[in-house]
Chain A
């Protein structure tokens, strides 16, 4: 063992490597992406890593590997699990041979997600065991344990850290290479009674799954990370917690003087460790629960009280003793604990703060998406339109002044929504905007649907040669794999043509006049047509020389600010100015300046 300072996601990756993982597949998504990236960076010999095209593919690839006896890890964010749920819900009935861990990162808040769904609830629904770490150190241990349990019980298991564990850093003890588990792979053994799902097999296995989960509930009551702290406290009021909330509770209890209340930590929310919690409940009059997202622990404890006739008052979200949505924080936990234990709260806020501007995320200075949106906006001026957006950096095209995202739902949905609107409102020009990574992940079937069902719509593919929002991962259009290979790029244009989209035009959105002209021409054609706006994300290429505003010529019309909202342009004491450290020289602002006052150094007027 040796000490290393690492991020939660890195710890999970290093734990998987120490557990002898043979295959890792995933699709990027905050806060999960660094897990797969870390495995790829530290990839042991004989371990295969891929960014799959989406979570469903990743789940199936991992399942195949686990069928052979390999240890497999699949990674995603919480909404990714929705995409992967079809294979997973069936895999539940088939099971695995090699250990298979499904890493799903939840995002209370949500901070960078569409939903506040709780993978612990999904674990219950899918009847799959679930591990929920409270810290970076625990995440490292848990993934190793998770592989062992998975293999022992022949079932995929969940590891579900939340953002504050994924993105926390801690110095932790990790194994040396000599201590790594080496998995010997038996290989796939044909047995259609085991690997081919049929109603009869599902019926048979369902019974076994319920029995296994009863067993696991008992086994987990003895799992070393399910614990009761201060078990002999004389206080009849106790606390139950999980995930990062447990760490907040520990920090708050460090502050208080005198005897500390007992704390039940639930590391395995499913199957719930009822033997352990039963002992805990009977010894207390009240239990206050701290858990983000769904009231999983609270519900289980309440259920147990009813089932076993235990007289304990379980409090939490159902009783409004805790907030029912949003992220918890240490201050909230402290205030609730102080109230609960009858300790006087102390004031922490400073009065009379000046009002602060909100600072929402925006498209970067020089982002090619800004130019694409602006070109469509200019081209369609005066027409009745709907701009169906999608998920990625380009969702930020919704902000003023662009205001070019009318809808956004989930990855790939913009295409379907545009078609639905088109069938009801044929006089509306329907646009769907989709990023290149999103195109491959979940938009292709939407295009097939549109072509087959004769929709009238324009698809705009925003091809910036990367998966930008989640940290610039490669995808099928980039020709780079996580094994370090350079492979043929899959052409978006060829895919669209293959589906039968007759008009497919590729344009550089920074070529402003051509971009506007192309949109005007294409949008007027009937049926399904597409424009691919191709220009790389500024984060993956070197910036061009910045632009300046010739102050003598600028007439302060502020058109550059009011029309495109590039964050490199600001007002300095009323004077329009370009921040040269931010400007990437995309030139968009220079195209709209009515007096051509925006130029590069050395360029004449």
Chain B
């Protein structure tokens, strides 16, 4: 059984990344269940996807302490989900923090580096991705999800290869974006 959490902010593309993993796993004959945040939170609120692969699973929701990997699109959102990660689990997180407008207005102190420092102190395998750098080099602001997915694949936890995911892209990604997405998945 494998439990995967993707988390971030509505609009960052967590849903497509989760669909790609699910479809790649299924084409290998692995049963998959998943759950998505759909609704109000998609307008810039915090969102997550739960993905569960393997036999003997009844609900799509991952219990606390049982995720094998968290793929976080924003460091604070990654921290929000750490209770779900099992001890010794893997975290792939984007470095760039996004300050909620409400926090900017209220003067709430929020610092992405502090989030990363906290994650470093945990009993986990931490992979920090400089998403900004990657997107600049790739020349597109739309492929953060694929860059992070590539890093997660490289961690070995998903049990999937880049080729597996590229194959599932063919039905889920528009043809004109295939080249860019392929580059993004191999970026890290």
Residues of B within 8 A of A581 (CB): 141-142
In the assembled complex, B45 has its CB within 8 A of some CB on chain A: yes
B36 touching A135 by the CB < 8 A rule? Answer: no
Given contact pairs A354-B79, A354-B115, A356-B80, A362 touches B44 in the complex (Cβ within 8 A): yes
In the assembled complex, B114 has its CB within 8 A of some CB on chain A: yes
B102 touching A360 by the CB < 8 A rule? Answer: yes
Look across to chain A and name the residue whose beta carbon is closest to the beta carbon of B10.
Answer: A361
A112 touching B39 by the CB < 8 A rule? Answer: yes
- A-side binding surface: helix, strand, loop or mixed? loop
Tell me, in angstroms, the Cα distance from A68 to B34 when the chains sit together.
39
B104 touching A111 by the CB < 8 A rule? Answer: no
Interface members, chain A 228-247 (any B CB < 8 Å): 244, 247
A168 touching B60 by the CB < 8 A rule? Answer: yes
In the assembled complex, B173 has its CB within 8 A of some CB on chain A: no
Question: How far in angstroms is the closest Cβ of chain B from A243?
Answer: 11
Residues of A within 8 A of B41 (CB): 111-112, 361
Question: How far in angstroms is the closest Cβ of chain B from A230?
Answer: 14
A357 touching B110 by the CB < 8 A rule? Answer: yes
Tell me, in angstroms, the Cα distance from A357 to B114 when the chains sit together.
13
Given contact pairs A361-B42, A580-B141, A354 touches B114 in the complex (Cβ within 8 A): yes
Interface members, chain A 355-405 (any B CB < 8 Å): 356-364, 393, 396, 399-401
Interface members, chain B 25-69 (any A CB < 8 Å): 26, 31-46, 56-65
Question: How far in angstroms is the closest Cβ of chain B from A164?
Answer: 6
B39 touching A348 by the CB < 8 A rule? Answer: no
Tell me, in angstroms, the Cα distance from A567 to B79 when the chains sit together.
21
Look across to chain B and name the residue whose beta carbon is closest to the beta carbon of A137.
Answer: B33
How many residue pairs link A and B with beta carbons under 8 A? The number is: 156
A330 touching B59 by the CB < 8 A rule? Answer: yes
Q: Which of A30, A248, A400, A566 contacts B39 (CB 8 A)?
A: A30
Q: How many residues of A contact B (CB 8 A)?
A: 55
Question: How far in angstroms is the closest Cβ of chain A from B78?
Answer: 10
Q: Which of B9, B22, B39, B64 contacts A169 (CB 8 A)?
A: B22
In the assembled complex, B82 has its CB within 8 A of some CB on chain A: yes
B35 touching A164 by the CB < 8 A rule? Answer: yes
Residues of A within 8 A of B45 (CB): 359-362
B36 touching A167 by the CB < 8 A rule? Answer: yes
Question: How far in angstroms is the closest Cβ of chain B from A336?
Answer: 13
Q: Which of B39, B63, B79 contacts A356 (CB 8 A)?
A: B79
Given contact pairs A169-B33, A350-B83, A164 touches B61 in the complex (Cβ within 8 A): yes
Please name 24 pairs of A and B residues whose Cβ atoms are closer than 8 Å in the assembled complex, sorted by A.
Answer: A5-B22, A5-B23, A5-B32, A163-B39, A168-B35, A169-B34, A170-B32, A170-B33, A171-B32, A251-B57, A251-B58, A251-B59, A353-B79, A354-B79, A354-B115, A361-B41, A362-B100, A363-B43, A400-B102, A400-B106, A561-B101, A567-B101, A570-B98, A570-B99
Which A residues are within 8 Å of any B CB, using their own CB?
5, 30-31, 111-112, 135-136, 163-164, 167-171, 244, 247-248, 250-251, 254, 329-331, 334, 346, 348-350, 352-354, 356-364, 393, 396, 399-401, 469, 561-562, 565-567, 570-571, 580-581
